[in-house]
Structure 1
Amino acid sequence: MEATELRLNNLLIYGNEIVPVIGMENNNDHLLVKIDSETAIDHRSLKPIALTVEWFQKLGFKEAYRSSSRIRFDLPNYCRYDFDLDSNKILQGFLYFGNYIKCNYLHQLQNIYFTLTGEELKIEYEIPQVQTTLS
């Protein structure tokens, strides 16, 4: 994953947790990514989240079609994403006016959606709250 792929609100994996990008800053040729109000880490410590059926459900997509070679998910009134079950994966990706835009990771889909709509992709997922007091 390249630093140029990241933008605010992307969800990524750090350690065993899913974290949001809440800020970014350059530090001597390294991009530091803020994942909470007190933590900034090197972007190379972050891992992308693979797109899966479970993630499409959290994104509000509905399964619209299934065959032995393809599964299609629709986001009502807007877009489609096809999973190509064949090994060549030619017909896989975000479907936009008959063209497939390759994206395999959640942050890529978030970026494409934002670029095309100017809105954040809504995700029904709770990011764990950081404990701020001792109990």
Structure 2
Amino acid sequence: MEATELRLNNLVIYEDEIVPVIGMENKHNGLFVKIDSFTAVDQRKLKPIALTAEWFSKLGFKEVYRSSTRVRFDLPNFCRYDFDLSSNKILEGFLFFGNYIKCTHLHQLQNIYFTLTGEELKVEHNLTQKEIVA
């Protein structure tokens, strides 16, 4: 994950905790990501959050279809995301006008959603300030 992929409000993992990106700054010839008012960390210490069924639930998506080869989640009245359970993963990603946009991490989905709607993708399940990643 590169810092150029991140925008404000993206959720990422730092030291096994989920943290929001609240800013970026150049320091000591490097790019640092602010995760709270006092802490800016080297972008290489951040990890992306993998998209899972649990995360789709937290984002308000509902499972609407399941077969031996695919699982589909819908965000009512807006979009779909398919998990391809086969080995080739051809039919996987954010479904937009019949095309799959590959994204496997939460920050990527947040960015796509914001680009298309101009709004933040809201986490419906309240996370603790710094929820521990299992």
Identify whether the pair has TM-score above 0.5, normalized to the shorter chain.
yes
Amino acid aligned to 1:38: F
Q: Which has the higher contact order (CA 8 A, sep 6+)?
A: 2
Q: Provide the C-alpha distance between the structure 2 equivalents of 1:3 and 1:39, rounded to a whole number of angstroms.
A: 16
Counterpart in the other structure of 2:127: 126
Provide the aligned C-alpha RMSD in A: 1.0
Alignment of 1:9-24 (within 5 A): 9-24=9-24
Alignment of 1:1-135 (within 5 A): 1-124=1-124, 125-128=126-129
CA contact (8 A) 1:103 1:109 kept: yes
Count of residue pairs brought into register by the alignment = 129
Q: Provide the C-alpha distance between the structure 2 equivalents of 1:73 and 1:60, rounded to a whole number of angstroms.
A: 10
Amino acid aligned to 1:60: G
Instruction: Give CA deviations for 1:40-79 in whole Å, capped at 9, x if unaligned.
Output: 0011100000000000000000001000000000000000
Give unpaired runs (5+ residues) of structure 1.
Answer: 130-135
Larger Rg: 1
Give unpaired runs (5+ residues) of structure 2.
Answer: none
Deviation at 1:30, TM superposition (A): 1.8
Question: Normalised by the size of structure 2, how large is the TM-score?
Answer: 0.93
Deviates more, 1:73-82 or 1:118-127: 118-127
Change (3 A) 1:84 1:28: same
What secondary structure sits across from 1:36 in the alignment? coil
Counterpart in the other structure of 1:133: none
Amino acid aligned to 2:98: G
Identity %: 78
